[in-house]
Every structure is written in structure tokens, then in C-alpha cells.
Structure 1
Amino acid sequence: MVSSKRRYLLIDGMAILFRAYFATSFTGKIRRTSSGIPVNGVHGFVRYFADAIQTYQPTHVICCWDMGSTTFRTEQFGDYKGNRPAAPEDLIPQFDLVKEVVSSFDVPNIGLVGYEADDCMGTLASRLGKEHEVVIVTGDHDMLQLIEEQVHVAIMKKGIGNYQLYTLQTLFEEKGLTPAQVIDVKGLMGDTADNYPGVKGIGEKTAYKLIQQFASIEGLLDNLDQISPTVRKKIETDLDMLHLSRKLATIHCEAPLDELNDEHCRWCFDRDQVHQKFEELEFGSLVKVIEKLELVNI
């Protein structure tokens, strides 16, 4: 029986697609259709997607995507994510294919030019979390800054079906941080994956210690006389980059997304429509997935 309470599942599409692709391509053998179209990432994506839905039993599902490498952050810092290699050639055609699969489940694909998928999820979580439960499925720990009373973040661990669900309580228990402090820690230590430096010479351990001690970057800067001369000098030398790094680390929760049509993202799909897409991609082994997903929220 369907619960009267809504639970929105926000899926970090690109993170899951990349995870699925690399989990199956490391052997060098890429799954392809009989016509030679690479589909290994899409095939793996469906398995992750289906497991998340079975695990969290949502009433509504939305999938968010990056819309290119240029965003407002690259305008703020030209080297932002500048260290990332180009997508593998076999993955490129799967970007459109995976969205077609998501659409076949009548799940909306959300993305906004100039913004990252993170910003779309942050905006949706901020809007929806005021009245409904929201679960964000991702592999990105930056998302922990989005946690609220009704917004939880499920970090995907190794293997399908393995998640670490973070709430306000579990975030503080494990990391000793509030969601806002997640941003401040990143401002101090930077992020090698996103290619912004933070304060040169301050690593994760020191960043955590400083934010736990002084509560925020503002609290730290107001009390520089209480820290060691060595650390103080590093901060004073890199003060501009500290502020910029914190800005780059902050997920934008007011992206100009259109208002959601709740009916459009309600979890309810046409079995024949999904079957047709699976047949097109030669996903015969995944047909049983459809049967399991039909049981969610019936």
C-alpha cells in the first residue's frame, strides 16, 4: 500500500553512470549490442538505479545530470576540475542512451546549463525537504552539506546494494561536523578531485581539527592568535584562496530550475515502454529487474 508521506529519491546520474562504466570496463571487455553500440555503463546504471529504488522505496524519483564542463564555478576559477581526463570514447555515446533509459521509466532527467548536477540536487532537496522526506543517492561526499532534518544522503560504497546513509545525527557521530561545516573543511583542505587547492599545507586532519575547534572559518579567522604560528602563516598567506575554495565547495541551492510537476516524477512506469527500451539495448538479463520494481509502492 502506498504511504501518504512522500519520499523523493534524487539520483546523481553522472556519478552512478561513471561508477557503472569503470566497474565493468577495467578488464578491457566492453558490453556492446549486436550492432556494436557500447552499453556497459548503461547496463550497470540500471542495476544501481533499480537497487536504490528497491532499497529506499520512494514515491517520487528524479535523476540529475551535469550539462557540460563549463559552469559558473569555472568562471570563478579557471582550473576548476581542470585535472579531469576526457571521458572514455566508449562512454560518450552512453550519455544519451542512459537518459533514454531513465525516461523509459517515466523518471525526469533534470539538468541546467551552467550548473552542476550537485546544484540541481541541492535546489530540489532544499525545496522538497521542507515538507517531504528526501534521499540523495550519490558517491560524492560533498553532498553531505545538503543534509537537513528530512534530507538524507546515501553514499554508495563498493558493490551494488551497499550504502552508508547519513542523517544529521550520523554525520555528527562519524565526522563531528554539521552540514555547514562540511563546506568549511573543504575550504581549508581543498579538493584534489575538483582541483581547487584550499590553504596550501593544510590537510584533512588539520582542517577537521580547526573547524571542530572554532566552529567555522569565521570563528577560526577571529581566533588566529590561538593557533600555531606555522598554521596561522599558511592561512594568512592563502586567505584569498581560502575564501574562493569555500565558495567553490558550496553547492548552490537556488538554481533557476522550473517548478516540479509532482505527477511527472511520481514513481510509476509503463512496463511495455521499459521492455521496449531493454529489447533495443539487448538487456534481456535485466527483465527480471522490471518485475521487482513494479512491486515498489504498489
Structure 2
Amino acid sequence: MNKDRVMLVDGMALLFRSFFATAMSGYYMVNSKGIPTNAIHGFIKHLFTAINAHQPTHIICCWDMGSKTFRNEIFPDYKANRGEPPVELIPQFDLVKDVVDELSIPNVGLAGFEADDCIGTLARHYSKNSDVLILTGDQDILQLIDKNVSVILLKKGYGNYQVFNEGIFFEEKGITPRQMVDLKALMGDSSDNYPGVKGIGEKTALQLLKKYGTIEGILDNLSSLTPSQRLKIENDQEILHICRQLAAIHCEVEVSCDIVEALYQIDEKRMLAKFEELELKNLDGILQSRNSVIDV
């Protein structure tokens, strides 16, 4: 008996990528109601292209629910470097969830947590009995790779992916997916606005983790480090532990989704009615090649 293949979609990653792919040239695809739809249009193309390529049996879409999470309580400057979303994108946040609803795909999110935390929780749950595929453009999610969990990383354009499992990740990075949390804590993350250890970059962080395994292993062997490395880590030891809390995806969030609800089975009439309502066009090619669609 073949195992289920559950695709967990990082909704925000797909939506933002789709928006900026055309917004840079000022192309927002405004419909007759004055509503921009470029992000939604690209989201649908990315979603169906990935479905056609990877053939999931079940799909769930996860979302951030507001800009503030528990990480801001730990570190107030977390993601503080990010400005307000463009005005053309704002109406598309709710509309894309409506579209996902009309595709009979569950939307999952929880206030105070990021989509990553929801994805991590669901991945841990479903991977006990199913193969899990995580569709994202965010490399932070690579820490979730496990025996039955793979990550499909979006690259530039449609249909271009880098697929990671445990073996491929180790070949490329030389560390395990779980060590990626400590890697991010050591080197920091400018996009999420946390510093890590000042003066420790990715190359040095990787060397230390390959040799000592974890942050605890490094701290237990400070005397073996170079004087410069030891001084940097000693000076930033407190922020190092905070950064690890920020980098770690929490996999015990209070979210769930019945596997039956996530079955990939689209109602053709509902889907096309929603596309017509939003005046989404030029999707014929991608829709003709989709699978597991029902006409009711």
C-alpha cells in the first residue's frame, strides 16, 4: 500500500514571491473592481506547478497570522527591519485564502506563531504515517527535514526546485538539518534581524559545528578554540542563546488538520467560479495538466 504524500505549503512564501516577481515592473494585474491580483495569480501557478511535479495526495496551506509572534516577546527587534507590505499586496492576503478555500485546501494558522511553526507541527504529526513534502522559498524550513520529511525549495521561475532530503542536505551542508538551528544562532540572520555572534560567519559556524556538534559542545570546548573565536563567543554568549530560541521552529503548536479534510480533490465549478470572480486569466495551461480534480 502506497503511503500518503502530504504537501504542506508555506503560503506567505509563495504569495510574496509571486507578488514581487511582477511588482518590480509595476505589473499588478488590477481587475475591473480595482483589486490587484498579481500575487494570487502567481500563487496559483506556483501551487499547481508543484502539485503537477510532485503529485501529493493531500495538501494544507499554512499562513502567518499577523506580524507579531512570541519571538517578538523574546527579542523585540525580531523582524523589526521589515517595512509595511505594499498597498497593492494588502487586499490579496485575504483573497488568496478565499481562493485556497475554493480549491478545498485547508488554511491553517495561529496568532502568535509563524507559518513555519504550524508547518513544523503538522510535519511532525503526519510524518509518522505519511511522506511529507514542504513547499517553500524559505531556507529556514530546511531544519525540519527528517526521515519522512523533504523540502521543496522554490528557485527562480516556475517549476524550478531544489529538493532536499536528509542525504542531500548533509552532502551540501556537511551538517544535519537539526544542527541548522545552531548554525543560524551562531551566524545570525539579517533578514529576520537577529545578530548571532558578532564576527562569526557561516564558514566559521559550520567548522565549529562539524567539530563540536552543538552550541553546548562548542561552549564545553572554549579552551580549544582560537583566542579570537573564544572571545567572540564569550562576549555574545547571552545573545547566542536568545538567537537559538528565535531560529528554532516550534513543532508543538496548537494546530491540527484532519487528514481527510486535506485530501487533494478539487470541485471544478467552485474553482472556476472563483477565478472568474477575480478575473484571473491565462491559467489554462497550468489547469489542463492538474490531477485529482472532480467535476460535481
C-alpha offsets along residues 93-116 of structure 1, whole Å, 9 cap, x if unaligned? 000111111111100010000000
Q: Which residue of 2 aligns with 1:80?
A: 78
- State the Cα distance separating 1:236 from its structure 2 match: 0.3
Q: Which residue of 1 aligns with 2:27?
A: 29
Q: Which residue of 2 aligns with 1:191?
A: 189
Q: Which residue of 2 aligns with 1:223?
A: 221
Q: Which residue of 246, 255, 261 maps to 1:264? A: 261
Q: Which residue of 2 aligns with 1:249?
A: 247
In structure 2, the residue corresponding to 1:136 is in which secondary structure? strand
In structure 1, the residue corresponding to 2:124 is in which secondary structure? helix
Q: How does 1:20-99 map to 2 (within 5 A)?
A: 20-99=18-97
Conserved? CA contact 1:190–1:196, under 8 Å: yes
- State the Cα distance separating 1:179 from its structure 2 match: 1.2
Q: Which residue of 1 aligns with 2:115?
A: 117
In structure 1, the residue corresponding to 2:44 is in which secondary structure? helix
Tell me the amino acid that sits aligned with residue 275 of structure 1: L
Conserved? CA contact 2:197–2:232, under 8 Å: yes
Question: RMSD in angstroms over aligned alpha carbons?
Answer: 1.4
Q: Which residue of 1 aligns with 2:137?
A: 139
Q: Which residue of 2 aligns with 1:278?
A: 275
Q: Which residue of 1 aligns with 2:99?
A: 101
- State the Cα distance separating 1:158 from its structure 2 match: 0.8
Q: Which residue of 1 aligns with 2:7?
A: 9
Using the alignment, how far apart are the partners of 1:143 and 1:27 within structure 2? 29
Using the alignment, how far apart are the partners of 1:293 and 1:273 within structure 2? 15
- State the Cα distance separating 1:284 from its structure 2 match: 3.0
- State the Cα distance separating 1:296 from its structure 2 match: 7.1
Tell me the amino acid that sits aligned with residue 167 of structure 1: N
C-alpha offsets along residues 52-83 of structure 1, whole Å, 9 cap, x if unaligned? 11111000000000000111100100000000
Tell me the amino acid that sits aligned with residue 47 of structure 1: K
Conserved? CA contact 1:57–1:296, under 8 Å: no
Using the alignment, how far apart are the partners of 1:289 and 1:102 within structure 2? 16
Tell me the amino acid that sits aligned with residue 120 of structure 1: C
- Structure 2 residue runs of 5 or longer lacking an equivalent are none
C-alpha offsets along residues 9-60 of structure 1, whole Å, 9 cap, x if unaligned? 0000001100000001111122111121100000011000101111110000
The count of aligned residue pairs is 295
C-alpha offsets along residues 168-212 of structure 1, whole Å, 9 cap, x if unaligned? 100000000101110010010010010011111111111111111
Identity of aligned residues (%): 52
Using the alignment, how far apart are the partners of 1:118 and 1:292 within structure 2? 29
- State the Cα distance separating 1:295 from its structure 2 match: 4.9
Conserved? CA contact 1:181–1:211, under 8 Å: yes
Using the alignment, how far apart are the partners of 2:25 and 2:100 within structure 1? 27
Conserved? CA contact 1:12–1:65, under 8 Å: yes
Using the alignment, how far apart are the partners of 2:70 and 2:250 within structure 1? 10
Using the alignment, how far apart are the partners of 2:45 and 2:27 within structure 1? 18
Moved more, 281-290 or 233-242: 281-290
TM-score relative to the length of structure 1:
0.96
1:290 aligns to 2:287 (yes or no):
yes
Using the alignment, how far apart are the partners of 2:39 and 2:164 within structure 1? 26
Using the alignment, how far apart are the partners of 2:69 and 2:28 within structure 1? 31
